[in-house]
Amino acid sequence: MKKIVTIFTGLVSVDKNLVGTAVVYKKIADIYKSLNYQVNMVIPEETDLEDDSINFYLYDTKNNKKLINSSTVTIFGAYPPTEPLLYAYSKDKIIVTYLWSIAPIGSLEFKDFKSASKQKNLHKYISSSYNLSLLVSDKIYCRDEGVRKIVLGSLISLFRASLKNYLEDKQFANLLEVAPFGIENKKIKKSNKENLYRGQYKNITDNDFILLWNGGIWNWNDGETLIEAMKILKKDNIKLVFQGFIHPGKGKSLSYEARKTFNLAKKYNLVNKSVFFIDKWVPYQERNRYLLESNAGIITSPDITEANFFFKTRIYDYFYAKLPTILFDCEAFADTVKDRGLGLVARTSDANDLALKIKKLAKSNKLQKEIEKNIKNYQKEIYWDNTLLPVYNFAKHPRKLKKEKENEKVVYNLIEINRKIKI
């Protein structure tokens, strides 16, 4: 009998752009394909991704049930659609959850609401759905050790860190494992370098140091402090490029933070002089071309819980291209960057210190080469084959955990809570 896996991506689109966490869904699909599973993927909108080995389906309640009924394994993400999740649970299907974020924390920064009550209700619903997914999953993956501790705390509150599970594995790895984000085990050839910025955009020249912000500016970012730093550096040959300023799945709408960032750059007369907002979102397979022309990558966030615990996926692109990374000391990746010499860490929300770090890197070819060497050594640890090995091992020998009566009661209580929330 052929093994079948059905992956529900929730609200995450899977297309040629493979924005952020969409990459993980594709990588997990590739793992199951390598083990001869038939792979189904349920997505929120039509895809332009060309992959005949994956059966793509639009989210549809009736068809979801058919797919689940035929599946050996069902996989959900950080923001799971609860209807198919609970249906899979009711049919005793093997349920795997990959937590690329802790949704109740990440969603605290969802600010773009006209109604405060709608924001509040959505957060309640997300929190309840997160707890549901932890209760019904047979295997849970998260992106790093810090997040594992948060999830373990949640499991304790939900009575899933039980004596039975502890005696089976005293690290609870039978239920919860770290399976981080990763990079391709391929080299980017510098000989393929093109002029995609230099000479193509007025005021970006061959002699400029290009600082790349790869991806959108979200509400959990701090673009304004970076603009303040660029104001300080406006006389230096340093150019900041926001590549992918507008999210391909959000039309022309901008986040609250993106609007503030752009308006501040405009106020300081930096737009298209030392700061460039480029609308084009680069397809995943083409991102190397843009990374190659850049000299460093940057990400800045305020000192909030989201930044403290969650690695930004775009940093992995910087590491893939061996680009030095500049970030604030509040970021989850800050200690790794500092300890392993992968870039420079500035004081959070300190524009002067950030400008100092940017200039220090831009003016020192020696420092850039040292960091590149350090990143090369670090890359071996974050190849996808290594980071997602726990996912591969489980896919080889999937197993269903026995339902516990105590959990059943909590599951049905949470279902009732979800039903009463109006979003």
Q: Looking at the structure, do residues 117 and 231 belong to the same domain, yes or no?
A: no
**Overall average pLDDT of the 30-36 stretch:** 97
**Domain of residue 13, residue span:** 4-182+384-420
Q: Provide the domain count of the chain.
A: 2
pLDDT tens readout for residues 397-423: 999 988 777 677 677 677 777 777 766
What is d(CA 382, CA 183) in angstroms, rounded to the nearest whole number?
6
Q: Looking at the structure, do residues 208 and 327 belong to the same domain, yes or no?
A: yes
pLDDT given for residue 110 in this prediction: 79
| Length of the chain as a residue count | 423
**Overall average pLDDT of the 272-289 stretch:** 86
pLDDT given for residue 253 in this prediction: 74
Nearest-CA neighbor of 242 among 206, 207, 284, 270? Answer: 270
Element housing 83 (H / E): helix 82-90
pLDDT at 192 over 80: no
pLDDT given for residue 15 in this prediction: 85
Task: Please state whether the predicted TM-score (pTM) of the whole model is above 0.85.
Answer: yes
Q: What residue has token string 């990459």?
A: 23
- CATH code of the domain in which 322 resides: 3.40.50.2000
What phi-psi label fits residue 149: left (phi over 0), alpha (psi between -120 and 50 degrees) or beta? alpha
**Radius of gyration of the chain, Cα coordinates, nearest whole angstrom:** 22
- With H, G, I as helix, E, B as strand and everything else as coil, classify residue 2: coil
pLDDT given for residue 309 in this prediction: 87
Q: What DSSP designation does 28 have?
A: H
Q: Looking at the structure, do residues 320 and 299 belong to the same domain, yes or no?
A: yes
pLDDT tens readout for residues 349-388: 999 999 999 999 999 999 999 999 999 999 999 999 999 9
Greater confidence (175 vs 21) lies with 175
pLDDT at 35 over 80: yes
Give the amino acid at 252.
Answer: K
pLDDT at 168 over 80: yes
What phi-psi label fits residue 349: left (phi over 0), alpha (psi between -120 and 50 degrees) or beta? left
Name residues whose C-beta falls within 8 Å of residue 380's C-beta, 6 or more positions apart in sequence.
Answer: 386
Determine how β-strand 176-178 pairs with β-strand 238-243: unpaired
Nearest-CA neighbor of 47 among 253, 235, 284, 240? Answer: 284
What is d(CA 203, CA 272) in angstroms, rounded to the nearest whole number?
7
What is d(CA 306, CA 102) in angstroms, rounded to the nearest whole number?
9
Q: Looking at the structure, do residues 287 and 344 belong to the same domain, yes or no?
A: yes
Q: Looking at the structure, do residues 119 and 266 belong to the same domain, yes or no?
A: no
pLDDT at 137 over 80: yes
Residues in a beta bridge with 192: none
pLDDT tens readout for residues 74-111: 999 999 999 999 999 999 999 999 998 898 998 888 76
Q: Looking at the structure, do residues 229 and 375 belong to the same domain, yes or no?
A: yes
| Residues 254, 144, 7, 174, Cα dihedral to 10° | -160
Angle of CA points 68, 69, 72, to nearest 5°: 70
Q: What secondary structure does DSSP assign to 271-314, as a single string? A: BTTTEEEE-PPPPGGGHHHHHHH-SEEE----SSHHHHH---TH
- With H, G, I as helix, E, B as strand and everything else as coil, classify residue 119: helix
Structure tokens at 353: 């210190």
pLDDT given for residue 298 in this prediction: 98
The pLDDT confidence band at residue 214, using thresholds 50, 70 and 90, is very high
Q: Looking at the structure, do residues 96 and 171 belong to the same domain, yes or no?
A: yes
Residue 301 phi/psi, 5-degree rounding, is -140, 155
The pLDDT confidence band at residue 297, using thresholds 50, 70 and 90, is very high
Element housing 167 (H / E): helix 163-168
Mean pLDDT of the chain: 91
pLDDT given for residue 412 in this prediction: 67
What is d(CA 137, CA 74) in angstroms, rounded to the nearest whole number?
10
pLDDT at 394 over 60: yes
Q: Looking at the structure, do residues 19 and 63 belong to the same domain, yes or no?
A: yes
Q: Looking at the structure, do residues 146 and 265 belong to the same domain, yes or no?
A: no
Q: Looking at the structure, do residues 245 and 332 belong to the same domain, yes or no?
A: yes
Q: Looking at the structure, do residues 153 and 232 belong to the same domain, yes or no?
A: no
CB burial of 130-148 (b: ≥16 within 10 Å; e: otherwise) equals: bbbbbbbbbbbbbbbeebb
Q: Looking at the structure, do residues 398 and 365 belong to the same domain, yes or no?
A: no
